[in-house]
Chains A and B, each alone.
Chain A
Amino acid sequence: MATISMTVNGKQVSGEAQGNTLLVEFLREELKMTGTHVGCDTSQCGACVVHVNGESVKSCTTFVSALDGAEVTTIEGMANDDGTLGVIQQAFQDEHGLQCGFCTPGMVMTIADMLNNNPQPTEAEIREGLKGNICRCTGYHNIVKAAQSAAATLSGAKQAAE
C-alpha cells in the first residue's frame, strides 16, 4: 500500500492504493466518487474516461500509482461553480444525448477533450472521435448533435469574449 496524493476536480485528495489499483477503483472506492463508471474489461467502452493533466484517459486501464501529483478531472467536476450544468452537460440534456446515463460521463469527458483539440469538428470527426466510447441506448444520433451544439456554444462564447 502506498499513499497517493492528487488533485481531483481542483481539490487536493489522498488515499491508499496498491501497485495494481486502477484509477477508476481509486476514484470509486477510495474517494467514493461513483460518477465514473466501468462498462467493460477490455478498455473499449469508455464509460470510465476522465482527464489526467488535461487529456482524456481510460481510468480502467490506468494505474493510480503512476499518478502521484497528477491533476484529474472527472464528471463530478464538469458542472459550473454555481452547480448548474456545464456547456457540454447542458447540450446533452437539450439534445437528449443520454438515456440510461451509464456511458454518459465518459461521453462528456471524451467530447470535452475532443472540443479542446478541435473546437469545430465535422460530424465525421465527431463520430471518429467517439470510437473509444460505446453507447447502447441512443444510437449516437443525439450524442453527435450534443457535441455539435456544445461546439457551437463554446465557439460562440469564445468569439463573444474576444
Chain B
Amino acid sequence: MVLRLDEVSVSVETPDGDLTLLHPTTLTLSERRIALIGGNGSGKSTFARLLNGLVEPTTGRVTVDELDTVDDGAAVRRAVGFVFTDPGAQLVMPTCLEDVALSLRRSVKDRARRRREALDVLESIGLADKADVSVHALSGGQKQMLALAGVLATRPKVVVADEPTTLLDLRNTRAVADRLFSLTQQLVLVTHDLELVARCDRVLVIDDARVTFDGAPADAVAHYRASVDGAPSGPSA
C-alpha cells in the first residue's frame, strides 16, 4: 500500500501556546518494512498514529492508498492495524479467545464461525492453548502476541507497531519481532532496537518533531548515532 503524507503537521494547544509535535512533512511510504527511530518525545509515535487516523493532522493530508485518514477513517482503520507499546490497554476482554473474537464481531456475525476464526488466529501466533486463559495471566511477551493477534484478526493490509518490544525481555523481543517480520503485510515499526532497524528496507530518523534522515538502515543508524553523540548529555524531554 502507499502511505502518503502531504505537508502534514501536528500541533496541540498548551497553556504556554501551540506545541508542535510534527513539523510540515511530505513523503510517500511504499516499502515493505519501514522503521521510525529517534529519541523519546521526538515525534515518532505521533507520526505512527497519523497513519491509521489515531492522530489527525493539524494541516495537510494523510492518505492510505488514496483513502483519507480523516474523511475515510473507518476504512483506513480496517486497512491499517496498530499495535501499542503496552498491550495492557489493548486487551479488553477477560480471556484470550474473547479478545480476538471482539476484533471479528464487525466482520463475522455468526458466533461459531467467529470462534473458529479467533482460534485460527491464536493458533497462528502459538497461543491456541491459552484460548480460555485470562489475559491477565499471560506473560508480557504473550500479551504483546495476543495484542498482535487482535490486530491480525481484522486482516489489515498494513501493521503499524509502536515500540512493541520496549517492555519485553530478549527472548520475547525476538519472538515478537520474528512474528512481525514474518507478516505478509506492510510493516511500519517504531523502535529503539537498532537490531530490528537493520532488518528494514527504509528508515526514517525523527528528531525534534522533524524527519531528519530518510534512507537505508546503516546510514540511518549512523546518522542517529551521530546526532546522539553530538547532543548534550542527560535525559531528553
- Are A and B associated in one complex? no
